[in-house]
Amino acid sequence: MIVDGALTESITHPTFEILNVALNVCANLLISMNVKSYKKLIAKQLNQDFKSAVEIVEIPFTQPTANELLIQNKFAGVNGGFDTLLCRGDVPYVNLIPPFDLGVEAVGKVVAMGENVKNFQIGDAVITTARGGGYREYQLIDANLAVKAQEATPELLTLMPTGISALVALEQVGEMKSNEVVLVTAAAGGTGHIAVQLAKLAGNHVIGTCSSEAKADLLRELGCDRIINYRTENLNQVLKQEYPNGINLIFECVGKAVFDTCVDNLAVRGRLVVVGFISEYAKELEQITQPRIYHQLFWKAASVRGFLMPHYKEYMAEGRDRLLNLFYTDKLKVAVDPKQFQGIESIPNAVEYLLSGQNCGKVVVRF
C-alpha cells in the first residue's frame, strides 16, 4: 500500500538510483496529493440490469511487485454488451463469481514500477487490455502486458482490443479476400468503423448499415461504398435489389432480424461472421422457433461462423502492431464518440448509452 513513505523506501543498489528517484517522485506526488486510495467499479452481484449489478468501491494502493507497473488510467473503452452479459453471468467462457472487477481496455500513464522493469519509464503512455483493468482509476499490471504508445489519447482505445477484433474476425474467421462484397452491420460503431476500413483497405466493395445521418456521414468519410440507414431504407430490399448475387462476407454485430436478413442474402460460398448480437444485450435473450438455418446455408455452400476474440489470442500481437502502424501512418481513421463520460460514476450511463444505439465511434470514459 502507498501509506506515507512506503513507496519511497530506498533500493540501495546503485543501478537502481534512477529508478528510485522516479519512484520517489511518483510516490511523493501521490502522497502530496493525499492520494492513498482509488476507485474502481465492480460487479457486486449478478443482475439482468447492469446498474443494479455494479458498485463503486474505494481501495488502497498496493505497491507494484518486481515486474509490475502502476498505471494511472486516463481513458477506458466501454464494451456495453460484454459488460452487461458479464454482470448477468451470461459469458460462459469466464463464468465469474461476484465480486469481480470490470472494464477491459485502458490508456494511461506509468506512475510507478517494480525493480525488474526495464522497458518503461515514469510518465510513459501505455495501453492495456486486461479484463478487470479498465473501469478503475489505477491498475497494477505485469509490465509484459502493457504496450507503449506515443501519447495517452482516447483514440487508441479504438484499436485495442476493438480494432484487433475487427481485423481477426475479418481475416481469420471471415477469410477476407479482395474484390468481394463485404457487409458490416453497426458499421459506425466502435468495432464496425474499423471493420469497414479494413475491408476497404483489402480492396473490397463495402456496405455499411447504420441508424442516422450523422453516422452515415462518418461512413462516407471512411470510404464506405453503400451506406444503408436502416431507419430510412429496408435492408433486405436494398440487398435483394442491388446485390442479387448476394454478399460474400458479412461482419454481423446486431442479431435478431438483421442476422436473419444477412443469412438470407449470403452469396454462394458466402461467410457470415457472428461478431455479436447487440440488439439482444439490453433485454433478455429472445427465444425463437423457426426453420433451421441449414436449409439456407446448404444450397449455397455458405457458412455462419462464430467469432470470439479470446479464442484467437495468438493473432493479437501481430494485429496490434499492424493496426498501430496503420493508425500512426494515417492509413486508418478512428472515431471516438463525442459524448463525454467523466469518472467511475459515469460508467453505468456510458454502458446504457452504448446499448441505446446512439453512439458514433467508440464510447470512452475519462478519468
Ligand X SMILES: NC(=O)c1ccc[n+]([C@@H]2O[C@H](COP(=O)([O-])OP(=O)(O)OC[C@H]3O[C@@H](n4cnc5c(N)ncnc54)[C@H](OP(=O)(O)O)[C@@H]3O)[C@@H](O)[C@H]2O)c1
Which parts of this chain interact with ligand X (CB under 6 A)? 79, 81, 162, 165, 186, 188-192, 209-211, 215, 253-254, 275-276, 278-279, 307-309, 354-355, 357, 359
Cβ nearer to ligand X, comparing 138 with 353:
353
* Shortest Cβ 191–ligand X spacing (Å): 4
CB of 66 to ligand X, least distance (A): 33
Q: How far is the CB of 275 from ligand X (least distance, A)?
A: 5
Q: How far is it, in rounded angstroms, from Cα 66 to Cα 307? A: 36
Minimum distance between the CB of residue 78 and ligand X, rounded to whole angstroms? 7
Which CB sits closer to ligand X, 180 or 252? 252
Q: How far is the CB of 98 from ligand X (least distance, A)?
A: 21
What does the alpha-carbon distance between residue 96 and residue 46 come to, in Å, rounded to a whole number?
9
User: Is the CB of 2 or the CB of 107 nearer to ligand X?
Assistant: 107
Q: How far is the CB of 283 from ligand X (least distance, A)?
A: 9
Q: How far is the CB of 194 from ligand X (least distance, A)?
A: 9
Closest to ligand X by CB, 26 or 309: 309
Measured between alpha carbons, how far is residue 61 from residues 39, 106, 137, 140 in Å?
10, 18, 11, 9
292 Cβ contact list (under 8 Å, min separation 6): none
Shorter beta-carbon distance to ligand X: residue 103 or 190: 190
Nearer CB in complex with ligand X: 108/190: 190
Burial bucket for residue 47 (CB in 10 Å: 0-12, 13-18, 19+): middle
Provide, rounded to whole angstroms, the least separation between the CB of residue 188 and ligand X.
5
Nearer to ligand X, 117 or 316 (CB): 316
Smallest distance from ligand X to CB 356, Å: 7
Closer to ligand X at the Cβ: 89 or 190?
190
Complex with ligand X: residue 149 or 364, whichever CB lies closer: 364
* HEC sequence for the chain: CCCCCHHHCCCCCHHHHHHHHHHHHHHHHHHHCCCCEEEEEEECCCCCCHHHHEEEEEEECCCCCCCEEEEEEEEEECCHHHHHHHHHCCCCCCCCCCCEECCCEEEEEEEEECCCCCCCCCCCEEEEECCCCCCECEEEEEHHHCEEECCCCHHHHHHHHHHHHHHHHHHHHCCCCCCCEEEECCCCECCHHHHHHHHHHCCCEEEEEECCHHHHHHHHHCCCCEEEECCCCCHHHHHHHHCCCCEEEEEECCCHHHHHHHHHCEEEEEEEEECCCHHHCCCCCCCCCCCCCHHHHHCCCCEEEECCHHHHHHHHHHHHHHHHHHHHCCCCCCCECCCCEECHHHHHHHHHHHHCCCCCEECEEEC
